[in-house]
Amino acid sequence: MSQPSVLFVCLGNICRSPLAEAALRARAVEAGVAITIDSAGTGDWHVGHAPDPRAVELARKYGLDISGYRARQVRDEDFHKFGHIFALDPQNLKDLRRIEPSRHIAEVRLLMDLVPGRKGTAVIDPYYGDEQDFEQAWADVCAAADALVKRYSG
């Protein structure tokens, strides 16, 4: 069986998807599960930029360094490279469906569908919010990371 591969997608790739990437990387290492992990955005406003400083600080609070991450936009080849592409909210899922190639290998779905009781819901977008919104986004992506590690380790 080939190694699982996951791409997390939000709008700008500076808050939620880098946090999801960091959460899954940390959980996978703890569990000893090999997963290829990346993140991207549907928009191009922040391409090449580091994550939002509030996301960097939050990750640091939990012992993770995401300061070296750089935002990028989803590309056609992502649909062929990754087995799973997870949108962090329903609008980004719609945007992914709109741009996905007619033939690809990726299973494209909503991230929170993996978490019991959260089907159809979004990871809160903390960009215009406060510290509590970032904490909620972190809790959401950690719950999804735990579900993914369980899925890939079984």
> Active-site positions?
10, 16, 125
Classify strands 84-87 and 107-110 as parallel, antiparallel or unpaired: parallel
Q: How many residues does the chain have?
A: 154
Q: DSSP secondary structure string, 32-80?
A: T---EEEEEESS-TTTTPPPPHHHHHHHHHTT---TT----B--TTHHH
The closest alpha carbon to 71, from 29, 43, 40, 99, belongs to 40
Looking up tokens 């299973």 gives 107
44 CB neighbour count, 10 Å cutoff:
13
